[in-house]
Amino acid sequence: MAWFKKTKGIRTDKKGKIPEGLWVKCDSCKEIVYKKEIDKNLKVCPKCNYHFRISARERLKLLVDEGSFVEMDEGIVSVDPLNFKDTISYKDRIKEKQKKSGLKEAAISGDALIKGYPVSLIIMDFSFMGGSMGSVVGEKVSRAAERAVEKKQPLIIVSSSGGARMQEGIFSLMQMAKVAAAIGRLRDNGILYISIMCDPTFGGVTASLATIGDIIIAEPKSLIGFAGARVIEQTIKQPLPDNFQRAEFLLEHGFIDIVVGRKNLKETLAKLFELLL
Amino acid sequence: MIRYYLEFEKTIEELELKIEELKRISDGKDIDISSEIKKLEKKVKELRSEIFSKLKPWQKTLIARHPERPYTLDYINLITSDFIELHGDRRFSDDPAIVGGVAKINDIPVIIVGHQKGRGTKERIYRNFGQPHPEGYRKALRLMKLAEKFKRPVITFIDTPGAYPGIGAEERGQAEAIAVNLMEMARLRTPIISIVIGEGGSGGALALGVADRLFMLEHSIYSVISPEGCAAILWKKNGDFSSEDFSKAADALKLTAQDLLSFKIIDGIIPEPLGGAHRDPEGIAKKISEFILTAIEELKTKTPGKLIEERYKKFRKIGSFKEETE
């Protein structure tokens, strides 16, 4: 038996990801905070209230009644329609991400209870290829929306995604139309759809499912937008305003209903159900 | 006439310049070199067929962006009569990067909406290089709703590098404007026919493209990301890219009309004249109008309910995945 266990050093290269180690630098306020303190605080920075990215499974625990989640469509997996290859092939990249994350794709789907209210639920996981939406995520969302209509229960989608998945090309782009059409049917059938946007939500996900909720909620300080800040800066060649594309910025401009902290999310949803259903 | 030639058309350019020179020399003189000219013209044609028969995706991208390529307003002028342009989103402003209005095609009243690029520096800037702001998409939707109200088919022309990435665009909800168009087009109770005439740049293109019939011109492209954007993500070289990188990215993205037809994403390809649409705008316009009229004929008998049901299914089935059962 080894006397010392080798621990991984702090990595600061990956933004928003909590590195292994005792101390963590907050992505928002850049303060160094004790990791245990963050963990205790639902992965929220105690200094600035920045909500760190959490996995879909962690999210699930915070959001639904214990033991109520029944996963669905977990068998849908990516194929490689374009035969896409960059440094490694898309097929290998998927396998690698599956191994690393223990997830099969960038979103999990299922039915659950939130304070006793049955819902159809989609939760995206940014750690799986940036939560990107390809054919699988598009299909899971569409099926969840159709189930919500069938079962007359609200649809809840928790987004955390860089947008459409480049590796599936035009198929990913068309998922935007597909999910928007499926969500359109909720409107025709009087089914509640609540969109919850977390850090970060961008591109094809913001420009399809995330911004057409009956009610749109965002976690504090989440970055939300259509184009990424770097692309905008390169295009307009001037610095961006403070707070640009943060949840509070979107609230101010009228594109989300409420900014709700992780701690109060479940409670808020239950109240909305009580008032609307 | 000074024409714009692409890099891979240089050999054609040389020959055509030579022909013009010969014509100039022979003009008004006794020497007869018409047989020589004819020979050269035949050679140009052969050379062009040769080059255009095996265009690579990156070359097609360049043709799709060709500065002389006909734009939406050119086609509107060539195809329609009685066009009245309608402006504004009734919320913020009028976006010149999207144009639209009422018109007749072959005496059938329609609503036309399309991205509009500019020709020449001044107009290009005015049209924001065909990159719409949210108000452009909201204007487009307003006109589509007008079409729904008066039971007119909607024709959209797609030709944009993408929705504009800027501060104002974000402040005014670029993503929301696109998303709402996707949702509302899927539910629009009147026929929608879309044609990609140049660049189909991602969500900003799709926001005019949720249609019952979707066609692409032979050398147009449609992609989730531009080859340049794709190269930048894949090979992170800090802006130092060669056209070879873009070529590789264009290959990988499978963005040509031919690719999309093989994926069954589009319903047909409209053949372009040799050398691209800009070589014969009238000819290509006539073909486009034939495609539109056939599609209207097919769609006009369907009830609104059937239309949106079929449109829903058309998009609902797009996706490439497998289902494992454990």
**Which alpha helices (H) appear in chain A, and where do they start and end?**
35-40, 56-63, 90-101, 135-151, 169-188, 203-205, 229-236, 247-252, 262-276
Structure token digits, residue B168: 């104002």
Could you write out the DSSP letters of every residue in B258-270? Answer: HHHHHTT-SSEEE
Are the beta carbons of A79 and B320 separated by less than 8 Å? yes
Please, how many CA atoms are within 13 Å of residue B326, restricted to the half-sphere of its CB?
6
What is the average per-residue pLDDT within B4-14? 93
Residues A11 and A78 both lie in one domain: no
**Which alpha helices (H) appear in chain B, and where do they start and end?**
10-26, 34-53, 57-64, 72-79, 121-126, 134-149, 167-171, 174-187, 202-206, 227-235, 243-253, 257-262, 281-299, 304-316
- Taking CB atoms and an 8 Å cutoff, what residues of chain A touch B176? 207, 211-212, 255
Q: Are strands B213-217 and B221-223 parallel, antiparallel or unpaired?
A: unpaired
pLDDT at A20: 64
Contact B207, B163 (CB under 8 A): yes
| Segment A34-48, tens digit of pLDDT | 888 888 899 999 888
DSSP, collapsed to helix, strand or coil, labels residue A70 as strand
Residues A155 and A213 both lie in one domain: yes
The residue from A50, A68, A83 where one domain ends is A50
Task: Tell whether A204 lies on the interface with B, counting CB pairs under 8 A.
Answer: yes
Selected residues 229-248 of chain A with any CB under 8 Å from a CB in chain B = 231-232, 235-236, 240-241, 244-245
Closest alpha carbon to B245 in B62, B58, B52, B66: B58
Residues A127 and A1 both lie in one domain: no
Selected residues 10-39 of chain A with any CB under 8 Å from a CB in chain B = none
Contact A221, A50 (CB under 8 A): yes
Element (H, E) at A114: strand A107-114
Selected residues 165-184 of chain B with any CB under 8 Å from a CB in chain A = 165-167, 169-176, 178-180, 182-184
Contact A193, B179 (CB under 8 A): no
- Taking CB atoms and an 8 Å cutoff, what residues of chain B touch A212? 176, 179-180, 183
Residues A7 and A109 both lie in one domain: no
Residues A186 and A143 both lie in one domain: yes
Selected residues 42-81 of chain A with any CB under 8 Å from a CB in chain B = 75-79, 81
Contact B35, B43 (CB under 8 A): no
Cross-strand bridge partners of residue B100: B113
Cross-strand bridge partners of residue A133: A164
What is the average per-residue pLDDT within A153-163? 98
DSSP state of B272: P
What does the mean pLDDT of chain B come to?
95
| Whole-number Å distance between alpha carbons of B269 and B195 | 9
Residues of chain A with pLDDT > 70, as a percent, come to: 93
Dihedral sign (CA B260, B261, B262, B265): positive
DSSP, collapsed to helix, strand or coil, labels residue A120 as strand
C-alpha dihedral (B163, B165, B166, B169), degrees to nearest 10: 40
Please, how many CA atoms are within 13 Å of residue B25, restricted to the half-sphere of its CB?
12
Residues A15 and A114 both lie in one domain: no
CB–CB contacts below 8 A, A to B? 193
Task: Tell whether B163 lies on the interface with A, counting CB pairs under 8 A.
Answer: yes
Residue carrying structure tokens 């072959």: B106
- Taking CB atoms and an 8 Å cutoff, what residues of chain A touch B315? 174, 177-178, 181
The residue of chain A with its CA nearest to that of B186 is A181
Please state, as a whole number, how many other Cβ atoms lie within 10 Å of the Cβ of residue B228. Answer: 16
Q: Where are the domains of chain B?
A: 7-54, 61-316
Domain count, chain A: 2
Instruction: Give residue A72's Cα distance to chain centre.
Output: 18
Closest alpha carbon to A170 in B28, B128, B196: B196
Residues A83 and A130 both lie in one domain: yes
Closest alpha carbon to B64 in B314, B296, B318, B277: B277
User: Which CATH number do you get for residue A174?
Assistant: 3.90.226.10
In angstroms, the separation between the Cα of residue B172 and the nearest Cα of chain A is 7
- Taking CB atoms and an 8 Å cutoff, what residues of chain B touch A78? 320-321
Are the beta carbons of B316 and A231 separated by less than 8 Å? no
B61-316 domain in CATH 3.90.226.10?
yes
pLDDT at B36: 86
Task: Tell me the pLDDT band of A162, cut-offs 50, 70 and 90.
Answer: very high
Residues A92 and A143 both lie in one domain: yes
**Which alpha helices (H) appear in B152-217, and where do they start and end?**
167-171, 174-187, 202-206
Q: Which of A165, A177, A236 sits opposite B166 (nearest CB)?
A: A236
Are the beta carbons of B184 and A245 separated by less than 8 Å? no
Residue B8 has pLDDT above 70, yes or no: yes
Q: Which of B171, B223, B321 sits opposite A136 (nearest CB)?
A: B321
Per the omega criterion (within 30 degrees of 0), is the bond before A81 cis?
no
pLDDT at B3: 81
Are the beta carbons of B206 and A174 separated by less than 8 Å? yes
Task: Provide the residue range defining the domain that includes A232.
Answer: 53-276
Q: Greater confidence, A259 or B33?
A: A259
Residues A34 and A58 both lie in one domain: no
| Whole-number Å distance between alpha carbons of B191 and B154 | 6
Residues A65 and A4 both lie in one domain: no
Residues of chain A with pLDDT > 90, as a percent, come to: 80
| Segment B254-273, tens digit of pLDDT | 999 999 999 999 999 999 99
Task: Tell me the pLDDT band of A87, cut-offs 50, 70 and 90.
Answer: confident
Cross-strand bridge partners of residue B81: B104
Burial (CB < 10 A; 0-12, 13-18, 19+), residue B322, is: exposed
Residues of chain B with pLDDT > 70, as a percent, come to: 98
Burial (CB < 10 A; 0-12, 13-18, 19+), residue B143, is: buried
Instruction: Give residue B13's Cα distance to chain centre.
Output: 25
Please state, as a whole number, how many other Cβ atoms lie within 10 Å of the Cβ of residue A2. Answer: 5
Amino acid sitting at position A34: Y
Residue B132 has pLDDT above 60, yes or no: yes
Contact B229, B324 (CB under 8 A): no
In angstroms, the separation between the Cα of residue A79 and the nearest Cα of chain B is 5
The residue of chain B with its CA nearest to that of A164 is B224
| Whole-number Å distance between alpha carbons of A139 and A106 | 12
Amino acid sitting at position A91: K
Task: Tell me the pLDDT band of B33, cut-offs 50, 70 and 90.
Answer: confident
pLDDT at A86: 80
Are the beta carbons of B326 and A240 separated by less than 8 Å? no
Residue A11 has pLDDT above 60, yes or no: no
Instruction: Give residue A146's Cα distance to chain centre.
Output: 20
Task: Tell me the pLDDT band of A67, cut-offs 50, 70 and 90.
Answer: very high
CA angle A54, A58, A63 (to 5 degrees): 110
| Whole-number Å distance between alpha carbons of B255 and A91 | 20
| Whole-number Å distance between alpha carbons of B296 and B191 | 8
Task: Tell whether A175 lies on the interface with B, counting CB pairs under 8 A.
Answer: yes
